[in-house]
C-alpha cells in the first residue's frame, strides 16, 4: 500500500547492526527504502549487517562511535548533504548496579550515547533532513526511547533517566523542527529480543512475557511496523509523540 511505502527514501539507522536497530533497518528496506545506512562502533559488525540486509535492498555500512560529538559530525559528513528522509537514533547503552555502588562512569557512558548523541547527530544532519523535507511528506526523526523512561525500573538509574530525557528531547525538537517540515517522534520499546535484553530474557523471559498484557515478548515485525508507520505517509501528521511498543506493559 502506498500509505506505508518508503519507495525511493534514504535512511540512517544508528545501532543498526543488531537488535532493535537491525529490526528497523530491515523493515525500512522491506517497505521500499532505496538506501539504508547502518552504523555502529565496529566496522566488522557494520559490514556483516549490510551483507545480511542486502537481501532486502541497498544497505551501506558506516561505522562510527557516536558517543562523541566529533564522531557524530564525522558520521553526518559521511552520509552527506542529503536528501536524508529518515534518521533513526537507536544506538544506546545500559548499566545496572545497586544505588550505593552506581559509578559516575555509568552516567557518562549512558548519557553520552543515549541522550547527547541523538541531539548532536540530529543537529549535524539538519541540512540533509531539510533537503528531503516537504510540507506533504516531512523528513522524519525517530528516536528510540524505552518504557523504562515511562515506568520506574530499579538499579538502571542512568538508563531510565536518559530515556525519559530522550522522550522530552523528542517533544522539544518536534516543536522546533515541525515548521521546517521535519517530524520528530519516539518509540518506547518494551521487552524485545536483543543483546541488551539477552541476559534478562534468558533468566526471566517467561516471567516477563507473563506480565505483558499480550502475554509475549516483542517480535522484529512489531518494531519494524512502528518505524515504518512513523516514516511513511501514514505517519506524516504525527509529531512529538512517544509511542510505547510494549504489548501494554505501560498500562499496568
151 to 9, 100, 206, 218: CA distances (angstroms): 34, 21, 20, 17
Task: Say if 85 falls within a structural domain.
Answer: yes
Plot region of 84 (φ>0 → left; ψ -120 to 50 → alpha; else → beta): beta
Task: Say if 66 falls within a structural domain.
Answer: yes
String of DSSP letters for 162-196: HHHHHHHHHHHHHHHHGGGTEEEEEEEE-SB-SHH
**120 is known as an active-site residue:** no
* Mean pLDDT, all residues of the chain: 96
Task: Give per-residue pLDDT as tens, 183-210.
Answer: 999 999 999 987 667 777 788 888 989 9
Kindly state the cell numbers that stand for 251. Answer: 498500562
What was the pLDDT predicted at 1?
A: 65
Catalytic, out of 37, 120, 157, 159: 159
The model's pTM is: 0.96
What was the pLDDT predicted at 131?
A: 98
Task: Say if 146 falls within a structural domain.
Answer: yes
The residue segments making up the domain with residue 40 are: 2-245
Kindly state the cell numbers that stand for 101. Answer: 555502588
Task: Say if 82 falls within a structural domain.
Answer: yes
Task: Say if 251 falls within a structural domain.
Answer: no
Task: Say if 252 falls within a structural domain.
Answer: no
What is the mean predicted confidence (pLDDT) over 29-43? 98
Task: Say if 94 falls within a structural domain.
Answer: yes
What was the pLDDT predicted at 96?
A: 94
3-state secondary structure of 244: strand
Euclidean distance between CA atoms 198 and 91, whole angstroms: 16
When divided into structural domains, the chain yields a total of 1
Q: Looking at residue 192, which CATH number applies to its domain?
A: 3.40.50.720
Amino acid at each position: 500500500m502506498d500509505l506505508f511505502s518508503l519507495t525511493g527514501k534514504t535512511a540512517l539507522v544508528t545501532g543498526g547492526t543488531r537488535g532493535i536497530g537491525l529490526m528497523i533497518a530491515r523493515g525500512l528496506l522491506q517497505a521500499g527504502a532505496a538506501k539504508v545506512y547502518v552504523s555502529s562502533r565496529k566496522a566488522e559488525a557494520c559490514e556483516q549487517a549490510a551483507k545480511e540486509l542486502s537481501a532486502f535492498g541497498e544497505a551501506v555500512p558506516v561505522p562510527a562511535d557516536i558517543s562523541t560529538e566529533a564522531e557524530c559530525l564525522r558520521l553526518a559528513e559521511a552520509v552527506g548533504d542529503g536528501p536524508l528522509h529518515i534518521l533513526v537514533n537507536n544506538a544506546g547503552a545500559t548499566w545496572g548496579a545497586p544505588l550505593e555502588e552506581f559509578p559516575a562512569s555509568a552516567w557518562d557512558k549512558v548519557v553520552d550515547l543515549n541522550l547527547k548523541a541523538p541531539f548532536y547527530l540530529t543537529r549535524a544532519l539538519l541540512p540533509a533532513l531539510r533537503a528531503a523535507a516537504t510540507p506533504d511528506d516531512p523528513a522524519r526523526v525517530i528516536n528510540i526511547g524505552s518504557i523504562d523512561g515511562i515506568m520506574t525500573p530499579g538499579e538502571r538509574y542512568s538508563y531510565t533517566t536518559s530515556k525519559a530525557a530522550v522522550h522530552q528531547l523528542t517533544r522539544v525538537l518536534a516543536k522546533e523542527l515541525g515548521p521546517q517540515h521535519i517530524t520528530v517522534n519516539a518509540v518506547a520499546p518494551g521487552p524485545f529480543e536483543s543483546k541488551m535484553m539477552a541476559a534478562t530474557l534468558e533468566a526471566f523471559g517467561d516471567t516477563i512475557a507473563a506480565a505483558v498484557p499480550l502475554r509475549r515478548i516483542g517480535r522484529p515485525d512489531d518494531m519494524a511496523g512502528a518505524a515504518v508507520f512513523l516514516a511513511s505517509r501514514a505517519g506524516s501528521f504525527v509529531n512529538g509523540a512517544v509511542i510505547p511498543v510494549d504489548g501494554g506493559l505501560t498500562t499496568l
